[in-house]
Amino acid sequence: MTFDTKNIRNITLLGHSGSGKTSFAECMLFEAKEVKRIGTVVGKSTTSDHTNIEQEKGNSIFSTLMHAKWRNNKINILDTPGSDDFVGEVISSLKVADTGLMLLNAANGVEVGTELLWEYVQTFKTPLMFVVNQCDHEKSDFDSTLEQAIARFGNKVLPVQYPYNQGTEFNSIIDALRMVMYEFPADGGKPEKKEIPNSELKRAHEMHNDLVEAAAENDETLMEKFFDAGSLNEEELASGLTIALANQQIYPVFCCSAERNMGSGRIMGFLNDIAPSPADRPAAELEGGGELACDASAESTMFIFKTLTEPQVGTISYFKVYSGSFGNGDELINAENRSTERVSQVYVANGKNRITVDRLSAGDIGATVKLKSSKTNSTLNAKGVDRKIKQIEFPSSRIRTAIMPPGKADMEKLMKALYQISDEDPTLILEQSPTLRQTLIHGQGQLHLDIIKYRVEKVNGISMEFIRPRIPYRETIRKPVDEYYRHKKQSGGSGQFGEVHMRIEPYYEGMPDPADFNVRKKEIDELPWGGTLAFYWCIVGGSIDAKYANAIKKGIMQQMEEGPLSGSNCQDIRVCVYDGKMHAVDSNDMAFMLAASQAFKTGFVKANPQLLEPIYDLEILCSDTVMGDVMGDLQTRRAIIQGMEADGIYQKIKAKVPLAEMYQYSTSLRSLTQGRAKFTRDFSEYMAVTPEIQANLIREHQVKSEAA
């Protein structure tokens, strides 16, 4: 069955780990009769979390596409992981969702993961509903959770419901929108409608009036009717709330117990009646400017937001139709590489179960298999159409490690497996660093990297060891030095001869030319690893032919690629070649390259050399209760605290920390805070290391060089 755009609802389930998203999704499928019984996470029987690794770990790792038919509509459901280590899955789901459901744990309130998810919701401008789950928990506190949400996210957070008897005896919900109390049977399911108890009428009426006002605010006609009649009928209320929700003017709050299946049906009814369809959302942004309205009658465009590889199946591509429609056998053009893709079959999915359908219309979400040249972030168009949906911007990495295969023979297989995983997970970055002579992987956290290792070993059968990554130190100098070197070699026949005189000095942008040299030519080069080499040719009188300038510069660059102190790259240096000697027969490029290399190396050591280390801006979000422990740990890492400020109910700590002190920080922070803190990091600058650290690094390099 093909659904019209107006009859589609695309929602994504969001929330801190442990908020109950997977269980809630299971209730939704059960209420819609998509599954015959409610699966459990403990029983490893949920529709979401269906992969072996998720069932073994007991947590969501991938986003899962599901769908439910509710009345005349189709609700596409994307269940996302709660751990910030898998934020890529969340971001790709938000890209294609039209409404977010943020689940809150009634016992824990607004958790740090909720804070971070809120930022992504705001970035995508996604309409959002809150669902306070686990109202049956013995420590459930709906009112406190609601207060925290309002304090953090503003007065647009409006309760639609609240639990009448939260805690272990929970079985009733008061609904202020419909002004009714729902009482559930002991095993959950369909509730009985009852009158609201007298003791709760005042609170329910106040909540109802707040909702009516919010609905009327977005429509002048409704506002006039509200002022005249003092209320709105059900149809008018639904119309106003749809506009308010779509424009992020309200964030409705519901409550439920997913574990006992109490409340999910009412939430699905609200999604069906009030949540915006893809046609109600703003037009999609295109690369290079422009927009694309969600219109089933227009030319066809779809966007791949996720790819996954399954054994015996191959690559599965999950997509959203942004315009037109797609069906079995259609041929599409990849907007990036112009390759032609034939869609053999179109599926709708409930976890690992996929059902073939004839076509999907604009706004709908589905899957296909075995596309040859398309992956996450690819746009596919009908022939003759040339447009690209704006790509998903994934966050930069927060953790890195070096990898080592069991043997050189396995390296090719290991890299093939890692590249396949990185195609599925754009937050995994692979780097083969010639500078550090290591293969590095960059990810979102230690759990993220551990899951990558698990997949490589369990699925691909390749052992992979994590080792400490080297630090990309830099070397520079702090004073000018004049130095020369004569390279002379005679072993019968023609020999080698070259003598180079140079001045090496610290370079900074805008520095004046040397007053005591006649500069004939200068080259200011930005180095591949950062920083600058300023090469000045100051030869007067022909003591060295200009044809040897490139060889001399090459010799200098060879030393700068592997600096004299620690073998690290050199940067921000000016070299003025001002004198030398050559021989009519024995001088050649090699002789001058070697002479320049040795002159630079000797002069560098005399020029008050300085080792620099990479410094990162670190931002940590944590609660008051653990802030002292986090600050104490930072002090052991040579951190410079830049400031602290309140961010909602949390504290934000800003610091500058050397990369050398950040190894396994994700694990340490998780341990210090019991997983209730998050961090981001970004490269800031290079700064000088202390004399003690510099001496140690030079000594370590000498030992390695002698042993080599």
What is the amino acid identity at position 705? S
Give the per-residue pLDDT at 367. 96
H/E segment holding residue 8: strand 8-15
Give the pair of three-digit tokens for residue 52.
């072996």
Q: pLDDT tens-digit profile of 100-138?
A: 999 999 999 998 889 889 989 999 999 999 999 999 999
Residue 122 has φ and ψ, to the nearest 5°, of: -65, -35
Cα 477 to Cα 602: distance, rounded to the nearest angstrom:
12
Q: Nearest-CA neighbor of 640 among 567, 691, 690, 588?
A: 690
Question: Taking the CB of residue 150, how many other CB atoms lie within 10 A of it?
Answer: 17
- The Cα–Cα gap between 6 and 80 comes to 25
- Check residue 229 and give its pLDDT: 65
pLDDT in tens, 396-448: 898 999 998 777 778 888 998 999 899 899 999 999 988 888 999 999 989 99
Residue 609 backbone phi and psi in degrees, to 5: -70, 155
Using DSSP, state whether 637 is helix, strand or coil.
coil
Closest CA to 25 of 191, 264, 189, 252: 264
What are 484-520's pLDDT values in tens digits?
Answer: 999 998 766 678 999 999 999 999 999 999 999 999 9
List, for residues 616-655, the tens digit of each pLDDT value. Answer: 999 999 888 899 999 999 999 999 999 999 887 789 999 9
- Name the residue among 517, 511, 514, 555 with its Cα closest to residue 532: 511
| Confidence band, pLDDT 50/70/90 cuts, at residue 226 | low
More confident residue, 584 or 75: 75
Percent of the chain with pLDDT over 70: 97
For residues 305 and 322, give the distance between their C-alpha atoms in angstroms, rounded to a whole number: 12
Predicted TM-score (pTM) above 0.75: yes
618 Cβ neighbours under 8 A, 6+ residues apart: 634, 639, 653, 654, 655, 656, 657, 662, 679, 680, 681
Amino acid at 98: D
Domains of the chain listed by start with CATH number:
7-195+251-280 (3.40.50.300), 284-382 (2.40.30.10), 399-467 (3.30.70.870), 478-599 (3.30.230.10), 611-693 (3.30.70.240)
Reply yes or no on whether the pLDDT at 60 is more than 70.
Answer: yes
**How sure is the predictor about 276, in pLDDT bands with cuts at 50, 70 and 90?**
very high
Choice among 17-21, 412-416, 575-579 with the minimum mean pLDDT: 412-416
- What pLDDT does 30 receive? 95
Identify the bridge partners of residue 194 per DSSP, sorted by sequence position.
Answer: 181
Q: Which long-range contacts (CB under 8 A, 24 or more apart) does 598-601 make?
A: 598/485, 598/487, 599/483, 599/484, 599/485, 599/500, 599/501, 599/502, 600/483, 600/502, 600/504, 600/555, 600/556, 600/559, 600/560, 600/575, 601/559, 601/564
Nearest to 44, CA basis, from 63, 27, 29, 57: 57
Give the separation between CA 217 and CA 155, rounded to whole angstroms. Answer: 14
Q: State residue 494's pLDDT score.
A: 73
Confidence of residue 230 (pLDDT cuts 50, 70, 90): low
pLDDT tops 80 at residue 228: no
Q: Residue 334: CB partners within 8 Å, gap ≥ 6?
A: 340, 341, 373, 374, 378, 379, 380
Query: What is the amino acid identity at position 477?
Result: I
Percent of the chain with pLDDT over 90: 76
* Cβ partners under 8 Å of residue 394, min gap 6: 88, 91, 426, 427
Helix 589-606 vs helix 549-561: angle between axes, to the nearest 10 degrees? 50
Residue 405: the pLDDT is 75
The answer to whether 26 and 313 have CB atoms below 8 angstroms apart is no
**Phi then psi dihedrals of residue 497, to 5 deg:** -150, 135
Structure tokens at 385: 């159409």
SS (H, E, C) 445-458: CHHHHHHHHHHHHH
For residues 661 and 671, give the distance between their C-alpha atoms in angstroms, rounded to a whole number: 17
Neighbours of 144 (CB within 10 A): 14
Between residues 230 and 675, which one has the greater pLDDT? Answer: 675
Q: What's the distance, CA 191 to chain centroid?
A: 40
Give one DSSP letter per residue of 456-484, joined into a string.
HHHHS----EEEPPPP--EEEESS-EEEE
Supply the pLDDT for residue 309.
Answer: 86
Give the pLDDT confidence of 337-347 residue by residue, as tens digits. Answer: 999 999 989 99
Tens of pLDDT, residues 669-708: 988 988 778 899 999 999 999 999 999 999 999 888 887 6
Residue 292 to residues 125, 156, 278, 431, 540, Cα–Cα distance (Å):
17, 29, 12, 36, 64
> % helix / strand / coil in the chain, to the nearest 5?
30, 30, 35
Cβ neighbours for 89, distance < 8 A, ≥ 6 positions apart: 61, 62, 63, 80, 81, 306
Task: In whole angstroms, give the CA distance from residue 163 to residue 172.
Answer: 6
Q: Which residues contact 510 (CB under 8 A, 6 or more apart)?
A: none
The mean pLDDT value of the chain amounts to 92
Alpha-carbon gap, residue 508 to 526, rounded angstroms: 12
Q: Report whether pLDDT(68) > 70.
A: yes
In the predicted model, what is the mean pLDDT of residues 602-621? 96
Structure confidence at residue 51 (pLDDT): 85
Rounded-to-integer distance, Cα 330 and Cα 598, Å: 65
Rounded to whole angstroms, what are the CA distances from 488 to 200, 221, 491, 581? 99, 95, 10, 11
